[in-house]
Amino acid sequence: MITTVLFDLDGVIRHFDPEVTAEIERRHGIEPGRLMETAFAGTAAEELTIGRLRRDEWIAGIGASLGCPAAAEEWGAQRARLDEDVLALAAELRGRGIRVAILTNGTDGIPAEIDALGLADSFDPIFNSAEIGHAKPDERVFAHVVDALDCAPEDVFFADDSATNTAAAIETGMLAHHFEHLDGLRTALRASGIAVR
């Protein structure tokens, strides 16, 4: 029986507009796509999400690599859009007595971001890889979650926009769904025995 629905943060609950990144690149004369390519090149992003690199250090490194610190700062400060329909689903699940939680490959900035987004009261607990020391798809991050929730893996339903991460969760015994849109998530929840609208 599913007792917890675990949501990824980025790509499921909050979304960043790629046009914002494109506009930053245009204004600063940066080749299209280079900002994201630079941000996630090498091992810096991995170090970031397991807590070995601070977010401000990461942003500074991106700026140095681009030769344009201002572009990196703007990119790092962009606002995200919350998916109100996913939040409504989380509230519906909570109303049915199911615990709703977040597991994000995050940074040391996640606590402040959660507060700014007003998500702290909607999800409990919120698991941040930078605090755990392991990031998805490492099976150790899923083991940490199950241990903290004091439940069996099969009691957890996990939704993530990465097929790699959902496959890893399934390997640990969780039910998991590769999130692409809300209707698909609702269908997967119903198939797992959770009665949602």
Residue-wise pLDDT tens digits, 27-78: 999 999 999 999 999 999 999 999 999 999 999 999 999 999 999 999 999 9
Mean pLDDT, rounded, for 88-103: 97
45 neighbors 39 (Cβ within 8 angstroms) = yes
Per-residue CA distances from 32 to 24, 26, 27 (Å): 10, 8, 11
The distance of Cα 21 from the centroid of its chain, to the nearest Å, equals: 19
The model's pTM is 0.95
16 neighbors 24 (Cβ within 8 angstroms) = no
Q: How confident is the model at residue 187 (pLDDT cuts 50, 70, 90)?
A: very high
Instruction: Specify the pLDDT at position 197.
Output: 86
Mean pLDDT, rounded, for 157-180: 98
Mean pLDDT, rounded, for 169-175: 98
Q: What are phi and psi of 25, to 5 degrees?
A: -60, -45
Share of the chain above pLDDT 70, in %: 100
Mean of all residue pLDDT scores within the chain: 97
Instruction: Specify the pLDDT at position 3.
Output: 97
Model confidence over 115-128: pLDDT tens digits? 999 999 999 999 99
Does residue 142 register a pLDDT over 90? yes
Distance between CA atoms of residues 38 and 28, nearest Å: 15
In the chain the domains, ranked by start, together with CATH numbers, are 4-15+81-191 (3.40.50.1000), 18-76 (no CATH)
Does residue 168 register a pLDDT over 90? yes
